[in-house]
Amino acid sequence: MTPFVLAATEAQQSFATFHTPPWVWVAFVAFVSVLLLIDVLLVHRRPHVISFKEAAIESAVWIAIGLSFTIVILMWQGGQAAGEYLAGYLIEKSLSVDNVFVWAVILSYFAVPAEFQFRVLFWGIFGALVLRAVFIFTGVALIERFDWILYVFGAFLLYTAWKISRHEDVEVHPEQNPVLKIVRKVIPSTTEYDGQKLFIRVSGRLLATPLFAVLVLIESTDVVFAVDSIPAILAVSHEPFIVFSSNAFAILGLRALYFLLAGMAGRFRYLNVGLGVILAFVGVKMLIHSWVHVPIWLSLTVIAVTLTVAVVASNRADKRDAEAAPGST
């Protein structure tokens, strides 16, 4: 065996690998489904405007659930697997912040009433889970079959890191989205909202409400974000269950995070730079995987420190601007 192949094999073995019985997958999907049903049928049974306090409490609950699952992985498969899950969760959670701000642009463009925003985001999350599952299993299959695909992912992440750090991917123009244009041409639609309904019947004719167009646009933009986030998570784990579960728990709390951060798009001015650093790190990790093994604890440290520095630096910059503003004391 050549040194190159040997190094590649050792790098592959450095990731956690284990067999996940079908019943575990069924149990996990059932658990996620129960969480979604509780959220939509009990917590948000009636349409209402979600307050900042309510969003903060729900965000804390979802984050607590996501982080607590690290303990489940730890007790089931050990420290390496738990570290990979936590790294994947933090990567997806941090990259999802941009997704939240894109949602804000879309919902504002369509003037979606505040009390109906939760329901359309609920279906958006449901669709995102299905799409992510497809992306994840496809990505893992490609890595297992073609080891060189990691170099493609790594190079793509470096390119994405450069774009994000330069804020070149934050502008969104819903009216220019090709998927939305196709939907409006193919599906008969109305310009009026009718509560939380995606479709209504008028004079015997089934019409899509603007809320359906919003849902389609949210799903199409999530595909774009998945193209960035899935390769990033595959840099820290190749185990399908770890990748999917970390993705699922990070996504489940996005609705609450949206209502918490939607009005704070300008508060984290250095977050994109931090995300760029994280993506660049995992991109380099992929490119050197055949020669250098980057331990999971180092990945976790880089992710956590980078996010902390970005948030703290943003808050300090906001404070300096407020103190320097005319009329400040």
pLDDT tens figures, 63-107: 999 999 999 999 999 999 999 999 999 988 888 777 777 787 788
Count of the separate structural domains present in the chain: 1
Q: Single out the residue of 51, 70, 72, 34 nearest to residue 252, CA to CA.
A: 34
- CA separation for the pair 188, 207 (Å, rounded): 5
- pLDDT for res 9: 45
Structural domain includes residue 179: yes
Tens digits of per-residue pLDDT, 218-239? 888 777 777 778 888 888 888 9
Q: Single out the residue of 222, 234, 226 nearest to residue 141, CA to CA.
A: 234
Kindly give the pairing relationship between strand 205-208 and strand 199-202.
antiparallel
For residues 26 and 15, the model is more confident at 26
> Residue 252: is its pLDDT beyond 60?
yes
For residues 176 and 8, the model is more confident at 176
Residue 328 amino acid letter: S
Structural domain includes residue 311: no
Structural domain includes residue 160: no
For residues 27 and 260, the model is more confident at 27
Structural domain includes residue 62: yes
Structural domain includes residue 319: no
CA atoms within 13 A on the CB side of 172: 21
- pLDDT for res 171: 55
- pLDDT for res 266: 56
Query: Residue 54: phi, psi to the nearest 5?
Result: -60, -45
- CA separation for the pair 294, 58 (Å, rounded): 35
> Residue 287: is its pLDDT beyond 80?
yes
Domain of 253, in residue numbers: 3-146+171-264
Angle at 82 between CA 17 and CA 19, to 5 degrees: 25
For residues 273 and 323, the model is more confident at 273
- CA separation for the pair 19, 257 (Å, rounded): 33
- pLDDT for res 7: 42
Structural domain includes residue 45: yes
Structural domain includes residue 226: yes
> Residue 123: is its pLDDT beyond 90?
no
- pLDDT for res 135: 86
Q: Return the bridge partners of 189, or none.
A: 208
Q: Single out the residue of 222, 216, 231, 150 nearest to residue 179, CA to CA.
A: 216
Q: What's the token pair of residue 280?
A: 């660049």
pLDDT interval class at 13 (50, 70, 90): low
- pLDDT for res 10: 45
Q: What is the DSSP string of 253-312?
A: THHHHHHHHGGGTTT-TTHHHHHHHHHHHHHHHHHTTTT----HHHHHHHHHHHHHHHHH
Structural domain includes residue 242: yes
3-state secondary structure of 72: helix
> Residue 182: is its pLDDT beyond 50?
yes
- CA separation for the pair 260, 255 (Å, rounded): 9
- CA separation for the pair 32, 39 (Å, rounded): 11
CB 265 within 8 A of CB 108: no
> Residue 162: is its pLDDT beyond 80?
yes
- CA separation for the pair 19, 81 (Å, rounded): 12
- In the chain, % of residues over pLDDT 70: 89
